[in-house]
Amino acid sequence: MTQTQRANAFLALHKAPGGFILGNAWDAGSAILMAAEGFKAIATTSAGVAFSIGKPDYRVGDPRVAVSREETLARLAELTSAVDIPVNADLEDGYGEAPEAVAETVRLAVAAGAAGGNIEDIGAGPDLYDEALSVERIAAARAAAPHFVLNARTDALQIAGPEGLAEAIRRGNRYLEAGADCVFVPGTGDLDLIRTLVREIAGPLNIVVGLTSANATARQMLEAGVQRISTGGSIARAALGLVRRAARELLDEGTFGYGAGQIGQGELNALYSTARLNAGTPEPR
């Protein structure tokens, strides 16, 4: 599929009854595996990408250790060339406060094959961007890429907890008016609060699971009206948790129980060989 076809297919998922679950991958191998397991679309995860290259994630104030835009886009291109389903790009805050910086980042993400992407309303600092500026940033992203599913993220709940609910709703609706296709509100797994967000935000809602404790399953969230569920960096962190447990088991006990859940070499060889052969020559964007 071309980039435009992927974007159209991705947008259709945001309009389909019942919603969908989006798996967050961090490299080509995890992307291929998730696609093979049946996800209709996948996304990158800034946390997973950062940790895979040995860097920190989220509000990283020191540019010397932060993941650069170039690194993010290079990894994005690896994922979009590895699978033939829509890929959503985690674009952080657009790699710049100014609307022009956000627009350029979105254009580069489209060139790398992304069907859509997240734009956050917080940078490396402790506070959200000014609300009016945040709206301008979403409008600039929309203007930069008509065929792109724009997921506007607000960290109002993430920063302030339940006291940030009113601000999250207000910002979410303003972002939709500015051209966003979906509103992403991380920071809660509470079903009652999620129902409030669904009721008060006038467009598709994205909830992330695995980041906070939840009193509901993904199916219950979808039944409550959530349109899009993502996993964020939780699967990547779980994979790193296995690495730590394996290391401790080997060094402390000398046993190999960590290997019980591994996928067989032959199965992975067949999966990745087929995926690469089917990928062929990328179509024009």
Report residue 281's pLDDT band, with 50, 70 and 90 as the boundaries: very low
> CA 14, CA 16: separation in Å to the nearest integer?
6
DSSP of 199-250, one letter per residue?
Answer: HHSSS-EEEE-SSS--SS-HHHHHHTT--EEE-TTHHHHHHHHHHHHHHHHH
Whether 229 contacts 218, CB under 8 Å: yes
Whether 137 contacts 150, CB under 8 Å: no
279 vs 252 pLDDT, higher one:
252
Residue ranges covered by each domain of the chain: 3-279
Report residue 24's pLDDT band, with 50, 70 and 90 as the boundaries: very high
- Per-residue pLDDT, 59: 87
> CA 100, CA 78: separation in Å to the nearest integer?
26
H-helix segments, the chain: 3-13, 28-36, 46-52, 69-82, 99-111, 131-144, 156-160, 165-177, 191-200, 218-223, 234-252, 265-279
Whether 228 contacts 22, CB under 8 Å: yes
In CATH, 3-279 is 3.30.530.20? no
- Per-residue pLDDT, 284: 46
Q: For residue range 160-219, list pLDDT tens digits in order.
A: 999 999 999 999 999 999 999 999 999 999 999 999 999 999 999 999 999 767 889 999
For 42, which DSSP code? E
Task: Return all residues near 245 (Cβ < 8 A) that are at least 6 apart.
Answer: 258
Task: Return all residues near 273 (Cβ < 8 A) that are at least 6 apart.
Answer: none
- Per-residue pLDDT, 133: 98
- Per-residue pLDDT, 61: 85
Q: For residue range 116-154, list pLDDT tens digits in order.
A: 999 999 998 999 999 999 999 999 999 999 999 999 999
- Per-residue pLDDT, 280: 57
- Per-residue pLDDT, 214: 84
The four Cα atoms 71, 74, 77, 82 give a dihedral, to 10 degrees, of -90
- Per-residue pLDDT, 283: 52
Mean pLDDT in residue range 29-44: 98
Question: What b/e sequence results for 182-201 when a residue is b if at least 16 CB atoms lie within 10 Å of its CB, and e otherwise?
Answer: bbbbbbbbbbebbebbbeeb
Q: For residue range 53-87, list pLDDT tens digits in order.
A: 999 998 898 999 999 999 999 999 999 999 999 99
- How high does pLDDT run on average in the chain? 96
